[in-house]
Every structure is written in structure tokens, then in C-alpha cells.
Structure 1
């Protein structure tokens, strides 16, 4: 009966060629995400960050309102009583991952 090594995923993920391919893909996604963000950013501290782990790479939108920037928000009343309208999401990371 055949068996599969339960750690095969770890072994493959740590191969130099696989790590290089993952990092190259993440860098392409990050470059496209930066371009997407640049189209919409007039002010603020939003940025695209690439974090490299031992076997993975994460591309992130870093900002206090990152979720609202990426996915949008509903209308709400702010703390000072002003009505804030809805905002459609920009899908900066999502679009970059699909295109990249």
C-alpha cells in the first residue's frame, strides 16, 4: 500500500526554487497593488508591505482604515455627529492578486 509523507508540503515549500517563485509572485502582486493604490491616494499613510516568512510571503495593505479601503464601508455617523457617506472598496490587493 502506498503512503504519503505527511511533511511533504513543508519539504516542497522549502525548496529554493519554490521559495524564489513564491517571492517573485509576491513582488509582482506588491508592485501592482502599489500602482493600484497610487491611482487613488491623494493623502494619507497607506502603503503596501511585503512580509517574508520561512515558507510564505504576505502582501498587505497597511493603514488604520485598511479594511475600509480594500472592501468599502457603509454610511455612518461619526463621533462628532457628522454623517459620513458610503465608500465603495478599491480592492487594491484583490485586483493585484488576480492580475499578478
Structure 2
């Protein structure tokens, strides 16, 4: 299943894992888009994929949603690190 994730979802997981290890636990969408290099228009779709799998969750802070890895997301990233770091060729229509 992880190998079938869109590249944008994998990039977000990589970013959240890096930031979690440097003690920055959560990001709003704007920061997440900039740091993961995922276009803002693709961000919602990418987040929906990994949210549905329970790998990422958000908490509300005012009007913003702050995204972070769930405990399952941390374990999945550690176990399937090579799959999350392997991006596949995607054809854009």
C-alpha cells in the first residue's frame, strides 16, 4: 500500500519525520507545503491519503490545522523507510 502512495504524500511523511526528530512536532499547511516542496494545490489530496491510513493527524489551533505524525505514522515510517523514500515516476495530465 505504501508503495502506491502518491509522491506528494511520501514527501510530506519525510518532512514530518525530519521535523519530529528535530523537536518541531507540527506544521500548518503553508509551512508543510514549503518544506516538503509539495504544491499547495496538491497538498490537500496528499494529506487525505495519509490521513485516511492513520499516519498523520491534525489538531486545531485557532483557524489553522497543525499536522503531525501519529504514533502509527512514526512506526510505519521507521519500518518502511525505504518505501517512503522511493519516489515513483508520475505522469501529470
Q: Normalising by structure 1, report the TM-score.
A: 0.27
Task: Name the larger-Rg structure.
Answer: 1
Report which of the two has the higher share of strand.
1
Q: Which has the higher contact order (CA 8 A, sep 6+)?
A: 2
The structure where helix makes up a greater share of residues is 2
